[in-house]
Structure 1
Amino acid sequence: MELTTQQILENLARRVGRPAVLEDRFMRLIAYSAHDTLLDGVREDSILRRHASAQVRHWLKEFALPTLRRPLRLPGNPGLNMLPRVCVPVLRRGKLLGHVWFIDHDSSMTSSEVDLCVQGAIELAERLHRESVASSFSSARLADAMHLLLSDSPMRAKAARSLTDAGYVSADDGVVAVVLQGVPGPRGAAVDIEDALAQTVADVRRVLRRGQLLDLIRRDHGVLLLSCDATDDAGAVGRGRVSGDRDLGERVDRIVELARAAVSASSGAPASVVVGVGGRRDDLEDAYASFREARMSADAARLLPGLGDVVRWSELGIHQIVVKLASLGEDVPTVHAGLANLLDDPDALPLLETLETYLDVAGNAQLTAERLNLHRTSLYYRLQRLEQLAHTNLKSGAERLALHLSLKVARMTGQYAPRRPVHADDTAETALPASQRPHNVHPFPAVASR
């Protein structure tokens, strides 16, 4: 009869004469053997929590455990109440599935015992792989249903019913979509935050009951659907309001906190996360509408200055018009014909930066000059020159509105990319060289694929 993961771990612990703990690659507890020998606070805490604490994960980061391919002896950490350990990677065909941990407080674990642990880790890897394959069918069906739900397919209603009938979401609640989008660091390397987002979702599930969360995670972004009844206050997001377990603001704040920590602790290329929160929909079938709003909100956080890195659709205001226009792709209307001619002229970039700053501060010349470090005479010359080239009149309120809207849409579509922040509170994204800035309003299609 095939042994279970627990039986394999118990047998291994008996053979080496010390208790063993098996964790997955995200440091979540899978199994642990019986113990009657010395334990430490970290071992007891991880068994109670079912995962390693944030402090322990942060300290272990310096040992590059995700790249570990052979047993490693780790020193103790008295500050964490952590004794010395031996860590054995659980590998299958070079892929890391987890780690087996043994406390070795007096360094008495012999080479032959470590070799036994390596053999046991191979057996555990095969067992974990088979368990993963066994659950892949249901996971694939769930992913297929999520793809349909987040598309404009006529099969959305059927997908929603199947998810509700299977108990993944509550039929009595509405739904809100949250998009977490990775943003590359200063060097513009490709973003890979899939593992970090998977860890975030796993951590969130520990504090939510079944039926409150659906997710679709990809390499550079994730989509979460949160159950949300009519009493949930979507306006509480980001305001620190604490009411009950079902409070949407509290849940989104927690998700953002976990995602930032997980991305920061990952060993991949430097990246950050922007978040978009869509509006609530009464029915799961309508989650696609909330998803589109969340996606456009994340785009706004990524590309428009001054909005912050967590943007709610309900608070975008005039920027809702900006992102909706930008999302039209090739059908984006020309908001201001005179300015459109300047967007294709590299020599006009200083004039456009000056105009955007001037309009952002409601035509305050003194503040514009200060932000751009310009003499007032130089500022007036630039504005007059722009009026001539764009065939506009900055004394006209309608012209100012059209110019301002045109510049913001151009930012979203990549037609206009300032060389540096034109605001003191601009995001780092706008400070990237033009070659490293995104040139599409949507960083991923409506339903992304691997």
Structure 2
Amino acid sequence: MQELLDELSRVLGRGVSVDDVAGRVVAHSAQTDDVDQARVRAILTRRVPADVAAWQEQLGIATATGPVRVPENAALGLQQRVGFPLRHNGVLVGYLWVLGDVPGLDLDERLAVLAAQVPAGERTPVRVVVALEPRVVRTVPAADAVPDLPGYVGVSDPHPPDRTGAAYQQALAAAELARLDPVLPDRVRWSELGAYRLLLGAAPDEVLAGLSEVLLRTLEVYLDCGCEVRAAAERLHLHRTSLYYRLGRIAELTGRDLADGGARLELHLALKLVRLARRP
């Protein structure tokens, strides 16, 4: 692979590199004058930084069937580049990156050879941790302790290593909300954001998973009634003892404390989003 990359770099007059789908730097050509700080960070750590991976994912590299032109992003220290998906036997295994623009060359044969040489990467889940001031981004195995970073810090849910971009977006949102909402701790996990997760696009079905139609109806009526047990029991035609039993089951299945205002808001919003999604 190294010889092919060096040859390709000479032909194109550009720095080139190959990353696997987990974001690990597999190989790179000898550095040229056009190398940028984003690529330097990746080479030094042997992994594509999570913020760079997020930017590339937003531009569709993970689902592309052909070259993707990535514009300059000064905030990330990233110059213009072109990404070529590498597929072996129809399976995405990595990406060839060319710094700058690419002249009109037929690279299909070289891409096929490169794809066949990309090693299968490990699939250990990872978390991304983001601190805001100063901006620090860390990618760590999900089972490891969260790094002790200063200031407002956000921590993502565990993600497959090829989804560090999505994990970065979770961690960044958590850190920003920790700074904005005084109720939240300075260090907060995505899973602890409650209703904010739904407002940021998380699936409401995940919040309500495990609840039967009967329990969903019970929960919605209870919340619609302002958590007044008497009013909810009357609307549901239940004895209050039966309602308390159902509410206990709901709390057990969702892992939410129904006495907590934030949990109530999250559940109520999830119910309404599910109902909204049923519109024709």
Asked if residue 22 in structure 1 is aligned to residue 18 in structure 2, the reply is yes
Tell me whether 1:97 sits opposite 2:93 in the alignment: yes
Match of 2:42 in 1: 46
Q: Determine the structure 2 residue equivalent to 1:170.
A: none
- Number of the residue aligned with 2:83: 87
Q: Residue 113 of structure 2 corresponds to which residue in structure 1?
A: 123
1:102 CA displacement: 1.5
Contact kept? 1:92, 1:126, Cα under 8 Å? yes
Aligned to 2:262: 425
Contact (CA 8 Å) 1:75, 1:84: kept in 2 or not?
yes
The equivalent of 2:231 in structure 1 is: 382
The one-letter code matched in structure 2 to 1:65 is I
Does residue 1:259 correspond to 2:157, yes or no?
yes
Structure-1 residue corresponding to 2:247: 407
- Matched ranges for 1:224-243 at <5 A: none
Q: What is the letter of the counterpart of residue 390 of structure 1? A: H
For the residues of structure 2 that align with 1:344 and 1:47, how far apart are their CA atoms? 52
**Amino acid in structure 2 at the alignment position of 1:382:** A
Shift of 1:425: 0.8
1:31 to 17, 27, 34: 27
Q: 1:29 to 1:66 in 2, by over 3 A?
A: same
**Are the equivalent residues in 2 in contact too, given 1:56–1:80 (CA < 8 A)?**
yes
Instruction: From the superposition, tell whether residues 66 and 50 of structure 1 become closer, same or farther in structure 2 (CA, over 3 Å).
Output: same
Q: CA contact under 8 A between 1:354 and 1:382: conserved in structure 2?
A: no
CA contact (8 A) 1:10 1:33 kept: yes
Measured after TM superposition, the shift of residue 90 of structure 1 is: 0.9
Q: Which residue of 1 aligns with 2:191?
A: 309
Provide the residue aligned with 1:358 in structure 2.
none
Write the distance in 2 (CA, Å) between the matches of 1:127 and 1:264.
Answer: 23
The DSSP-based 3-state class of the residue aligned with 1:76 is: coil
Instruction: Look up the match of 1:166.
Output: none
Which residue is equivalent to 1:278? none
Q: CA deviation at 1:78?
A: 3.5
CA pair 381-249 structure 1, distance change in 2 beyond 3 A = same
2:56 alignment partner, one of 54, 60, 70: 60
Structure 2 vs 1, CA of residues 121 and 79 (structure 1 numbering), >3 Å: closer, same or farther?
Answer: same
> Is contact 2:233–2:240 with CA below 8 Å preserved after alignment?
no
Displacement, 1:70? 1.2
Post-superposition CA distance 1:335-386 (Å, at most 9, x none): xxxxxxxx78968974x5589xxxxxxxxxxxxxxxx29xxxxx69638969
The offset of 1:87, in angstroms, is 1.8
Tell me: CA distance 1:385–1:88, structure 2 relative to 1, closer, same or farther (3 Å).
closer
Shift of 1:101: 1.2
- The offset of 1:32, in angstroms, is 0.8
Alpha-carbon distance in structure 1 between the residues aligned to 2:51 and 2:216:
51
Distance 2:159 2:216 in 1: 41
Deviation at 1:40, TM superposition (A): 1.9
**Superposition pairs of residues 268-287 of structure 1, within 5 angstroms:** none
The CA deviation at 1:66 is: 0.5
Q: How does 1:364-375 map to 2 (within 5 A)?
A: 372=226
What CA distance in whole angstroms lies between the structure 1 residues aligned with 2:6 and 2:259? 62
- Compared with structure 1, are the counterparts of its residues 345 and 17 closer, same or farther at alpha carbon in structure 2 (3 Å cutoff)? closer
The letter for the 2-side match of 1:14 is R
The answer to whether the Cα contact below 8 Å between 1:23 and 1:29 also exists between their aligned partners in 2 is yes
Structure with the bigger RCO (C-alpha within 8 Å, sep 6+) is 2
Structure 2: how far apart are the matches of 1:271 and 1:76? 23
What is the identity percentage for the equivalent residue pairs of Structure 1 and Structure 2?
20
C-alpha RMSD of the superposition: 5.1
Q: Work out whether residues 19 and 33 of structure 1, in 8 Å CA contact, stay in contact via their aligned partners in 2.
A: yes
Question: 1:156-195 to 2 correspondence within 5 Å?
Answer: none
Q: Give distance in 1, aligned partners of 2:117 and 2:39.
A: 23
Partner of 2:54: helix, strand, or coil?
Answer: helix
- TM-aligned CA distance change 1:79 to 1:410, over 3 Å: closer
Whether the aligned pair in 2 keeps the contact of 1:353 and 1:422 (CA below 8 Å) is no
SS in structure 1 opposite 2:48? coil
In structure 2, runs of 5+ residues without a counterpart are 129-137, 172-189, 194-209, 276-280
Label 1:404 to 1:39 Cα distance change in 2 as closer, same or farther (>3 A).
same
| Residues 1:111 and 2:104 are matched in the alignment | yes
User: Which residue in the other structure is 2:198 paired with?
Assistant: none
* CA contact 1:9–1:33 (8 Å) conserved in 2: yes
Q: State the TM-score, normalized to the length of structure 1.
A: 0.38
How many Å separate the matches in 1 of 2:219 and 2:116? 62
The answer (yes or no) to whether the contact 1:73–1:86 under 8 Å persists in 2 is yes
Which consecutive unaligned segments of at least 5 residues does structure 1 have? 140-194, 206-223, 227-247, 273-307, 312-328, 330-342, 356-371, 374-378, 393-401, 415-420, 438-450
Counterparts of 1:422 and 1:198, CA distance in 2:
33
Secondary structure at the aligned position of 2:85 is classed as strand
1:83 Cα offset (Å): 2.3
| Aligned-residue offset at 1:80 | 3.4
CA pair 310-199 structure 1, distance change in 2 beyond 3 A: same
Residue 304 of structure 1: aligned partner: none
